[in-house]
Chains A and B, each alone.
Chain A
Amino acid sequence: MFQITLYTSLILSTAGLLFQVYRFQKKGASGVPKLKLSLNLKLVLFNTIFQSKLFRASKTRWAVHFLVLSGFSYLVFFHALDELTAFNLFQYYQPTLDPFQFLRNFAGFLVLAGCIGFLFRRSFNTRIKPDNKLKYKGIFSIILILLVIGSGFMLETVKIISEPAFLEMVEDYSDLDEGTDLDHLKIYWEKNYHVVFKETLLITEDALEQGRRLNNDYCLDCHSKINSAFVSKAFATHLGKPANFLNHYRADNWLYPIHYLLSFLMLISLPFSRFFHMLLIPFASAQHKVTNKHFQKEAVFIHPATFAACTNCGICSEVCSVYPNFLITGNKQILPHSKIESARKMIFTGHLNPEALNQLQLGNDECTMCNNCTNICPSGIDLQGLWKTLPKTLHKMGYPDNYTFVKDKALQDWGNKELEKDRAAGTYGLTQNLTGRVYSFENCVQCTICTNVCPVVAYSGNDNDMTPQQIMNLLRLGKKQTAAETRMVWNCLTCYLCQEHCPSEIKVADIIIELRNISNQTAERLKIMTTADKANTL
């Protein structure tokens, strides 16, 4: 039974792994530019073994992660694989001997503490809050770990209290028969090892002394004092009445398969759950190549496998430079942890709904490429590279940036009445309202000084349409929307030369910037309207 399930789960796990590799390869080939695999050896080494990046990001998180990792590694190597490791390394090894008995309990305790820490942080993290879906992503893995460790402790507990197990051991390892000797040993074990016996035994000093001698003869070689199994011992001593019930139904026998089956479930789920990050983070770290020079030469779409290395920890959003933009606009897709999740969906499911893609495009446009998220990402994902290449991919899918969108938009599509209504309703936040007040531009005498000093007018050639002074004139004629769509508004360098030179003290540059705000907002509104149409037709 054990052998069969072990090999089945090993085969399933390998198959899952191969399937994921195939999926990543396939996604890597379709649609996105190919990239060379690179190897950042230093980062792989430090980030995998010591989680150096997580340590830099947050000491407490690192500590919690380390509890789970160290405890879990110990359990895998010296408990689950003890037939391969411990039995060969230590001649006297027995699971019930110290220090192994103690270490097993200690490791289990560490993992339990760490997992509870994980759950605690997930529940109270403020920055992931806007994304409730993400909040409990990966909780399956944590619960599975808790179940495995919990069943392990329960198994040890029921073994401690088990009378049948005691009797079997006596039969196998001693020559004691029914009689007073056995009773003495029972008394000793009830007192010192917390075995629960059906019949009530009379404890006397003499019997204990006899029991101790028998224990020395037969048991001590393989059984250290039970105090070292501190977690299970605590359970065993507080079990009370159900103990007899558990003994009667041989709980130790049926908890054992539960324990190993849960562990095998963990093995099978490795390529499909949060456990996969164990393999993907080293991979993502190897692909990490964010130097400025590299970046300018070839910014290629990150490897699909690195998407999956994201553990939704949300640390990136805590350091995001444009977090205030999110506070005002409320677009979740400004925050890196949301962006990478959407990008992952976009790549793997092939189709994200148009509204989500639109939001992703708008959110990603706000990114200032400050590298904060990439610098801190504990998984070592090349986030900066992703933000840089995402616009190109989105453009190909029909979601261009606002500049291109406005450039390609015909003027007749621009003067939409509904947009004016929205603006009047004040949906776009506070403005200086320079374009709405006549006195801010009515003093323009069309002297063309602004046009003469403007570097855009001087060097753009055919690339430009209006001049600053013509824009002022359009405003005076009440053609605000037309003015907002001009190339001049979008090409403006915001160098303020016009404003500084204006003899009528008109805030030319501020007006142009405000027009660009209007243009941006109109573009966003139009995009949402067109994507809504797209979503309806789908």
Chain B
Amino acid sequence: MKLAYFPGCKINFYLKDYDTSFKSLMEKLGVDLVQLPFNCCGYPARSTSFEVSVFSSIRNFALARKYDLDIITPCKCCFGQLKYASYQWHENKELKQKMDCLLADENLFWDGKTKIKHLLSFLYDDIGVLEIKKKINHKLPEKKIVTQYGCHALRPFTITGFDNPHAPQIFEELINITGFKTVEWSKSTECCGNPIYETNKNLSLKILNSKLNAALESGADHICTACTHCQIQYTDLSFQNECQKHHITPVLFTQILGAALGIKKEKLGEDRLPIFDLRVS
């Protein structure tokens, strides 16, 4: 299987481990990732201009379509924005015309056929939980873990179609096959606070704290994320003490699954992760 890899802007500089582990995981599962010269998904521009944000996404689609590839992204904000732009393009004729003109200036064209997948939805829908379970050869410790779904993948459901927006469960199913035990908690579907990190750091921190408190109450040891922005929020240096205070370690889903599939430590990122010390194989 061949897919166009849409890394998103932040991953390369802020979260190289996610990039590395995502690539190793896809390699292990036999997926060919193609790197195209994508631009920003358009999510950051959504605050300033609707048109700019949609055009950014459509330009990426046109690029992927040129090579006849579907798009996979490990970031939920990118996923949400790409889905959103695709939806608007299909709905709004005036917008579609304008986008066509703008693309034509650069000798590009999009016919609306590119599919957008997030890492989780791809694993769940295209590969299948059972199929992955068969490949698991390392048992991870039965540590308690809570899931951070990420807003933009879940909502608005009519646009993203990711999972039940009120009681999602695909993330839990995917984690449980690795040996980790997922715990229910109240803030699974809530925002991590990263979108206003730049502008209102104080509020961003308060929201992070509320999440960590809820995770602590549920008795979890780890928070599992599958989104660049969520993980950045939990591991940000100015916030990192918060996680330590609550005795909760944020972990990347790709690293958990990668470890369970027996991918070597070095191929899952540079930072030493607590899960490798816990590993009982």
The chain A residues found within 8 Å of chain B, CB to CB, are: 290, 292-293, 295-297, 319-325, 327-329, 365-366, 368-372, 375, 384, 401-403, 428-432, 455-456, 458-461, 463, 490-497, 499-500, 507, 509, 513-514, 516-517, 520-521
B122 close to A (CB within 8 Å) = no
Contact, CB under 8 Å: A321 / B14? no
Closest 7 CB pairs of A and B: A496-B155, A370-B9, A371-B13, A495-B191, A495-B151, A429-B51, A368-B9
Q: A321-B40, A368-B9, A497-B155 are in contact. Are A292 and B14 (CB under 8 A)?
A: yes
Contact, CB under 8 Å: A490 / B199? yes
Chain B residues in 8 Å Cβ range of A321: 9, 39-40
Contact, CB under 8 Å: B210 / A459? yes
Contact, CB under 8 Å: B50 / A432? yes
Contact, CB under 8 Å: B46 / A322? no
Contact, CB under 8 Å: A459 / B52? no
Contact, CB under 8 Å: A430 / B238? no
Min Cβ gap A55→B in Å is: 18
Min Cβ gap A328→B in Å is: 5
Contact, CB under 8 Å: B12 / A327? no
Contact, CB under 8 Å: B56 / A324? yes
Contact, CB under 8 Å: B206 / A325? no
Cα–Cα, bound, A323→B42 (Å) = 11
Contact, CB under 8 Å: A371 / B12? yes
B34 close to A (CB within 8 Å) = no
Chain B residues in 8 Å Cβ range of A403: 199-200
Q: A321-B9, A368-B9 are in contact. Are A455 and B51 (CB under 8 A)?
A: no
Chain B residues in 8 Å Cβ range of A432: 50, 88, 92
Min Cβ gap A339→B in Å is: 16
Contact, CB under 8 Å: A322 / B155? no
CB closest residue in chain B, given A428? B49
* A/B interface sample: 17 pairs, CB < 8 A: A296-B236, A297-B237, A322-B40, A324-B39, A328-B51, A370-B9, A370-B10, A371-B12, A460-B203, A493-B196, A494-B46, A495-B191, A496-B156, A500-B157, A500-B166, A513-B47, A517-B47
Contact, CB under 8 Å: A369 / B9? yes
**Chain B, interface SS category:** helix
Min Cβ gap A508→B in Å is: 10
Cα–Cα, bound, A327→B58 (Å) = 13
Cα–Cα, bound, A456→B195 (Å) = 12
Contact, CB under 8 Å: A500 / B44? no
Contact, CB under 8 Å: A430 / B95? yes
B207 close to A (CB within 8 Å) = yes
Chain A residues in 8 Å Cβ range of B155: 495-497, 499-500
CB closest residue in chain A, given B46? A513
B30 close to A (CB within 8 Å) = no
**Chain A, interface SS category:** helix
Chain A residues in 8 Å Cβ range of B202: 463
Known pairs A432-B88, A493-B191, A521-B49 / 4 extra A-B pairs, C-beta < 8 Å: A290-B13, A324-B52, A368-B40, A520-B48
Number of A-B contacts (CB under 8 A): 159
The chain B residues found within 8 Å of chain A, CB to CB, are: 9-10, 12-16, 37, 39-40, 42, 44-52, 55-56, 59, 88, 92, 94-95, 98, 102, 105, 151-152, 154-157, 165-166, 189-191, 193, 195-196, 199-200, 202-203, 206-207, 210, 236-238
Chain B residues in 8 Å Cβ range of A499: 155-156
Q: A328-B102, A499-B156, A521-B48 are in contact. Are A494 and B151 (CB under 8 A)?
A: yes
Min Cβ gap B164→A in Å is: 11
Contact, CB under 8 Å: A429 / B50? yes
Contact, CB under 8 Å: B13 / A430? no
Cα–Cα, bound, A493→B190 (Å) = 10
Chain B residues in 8 Å Cβ range of A290: 13
Cα–Cα, bound, A328→B255 (Å) = 39
Contact, CB under 8 Å: B200 / A495? no
Chain B residues in 8 Å Cβ range of A509: 156
Contact, CB under 8 Å: B49 / A328? yes
Chain B residues in 8 Å Cβ range of A514: 50
Min Cβ gap B190→A in Å is: 6
Contact, CB under 8 Å: A293 / B49? no
Cα–Cα, bound, A438→B55 (Å) = 27
CB closest residue in chain B, given A514? B50
Q: Which of B51, B151, B156, B157 contacts A430 (CB 8 A)?
A: B51
Chain A residues in 8 Å Cβ range of B45: 322, 325, 366
Contact, CB under 8 Å: A455 / B46? no
Min Cβ gap B241→A in Å is: 13
Chain B residues in 8 Å Cβ range of A292: 13-16
Q: A292-B14, A327-B102, A369-B10 are in contact. Are A493 and B48 (CB under 8 A)?
A: no
Q: Which of B44, B51, B156 contacts A366 (CB 8 A)?
A: B44
Contact, CB under 8 Å: A500 / B156? yes
Min Cβ gap B271→A in Å is: 10
Q: Which of B10, B15, B193 contacts A493 (CB 8 A)?
A: B193
CB closest residue in chain A, given B206? A459
Chain B residues in 8 Å Cβ range of A520: 47-49
Interface centre among B15, B40, B44 (most CB of A within 10 A): B40
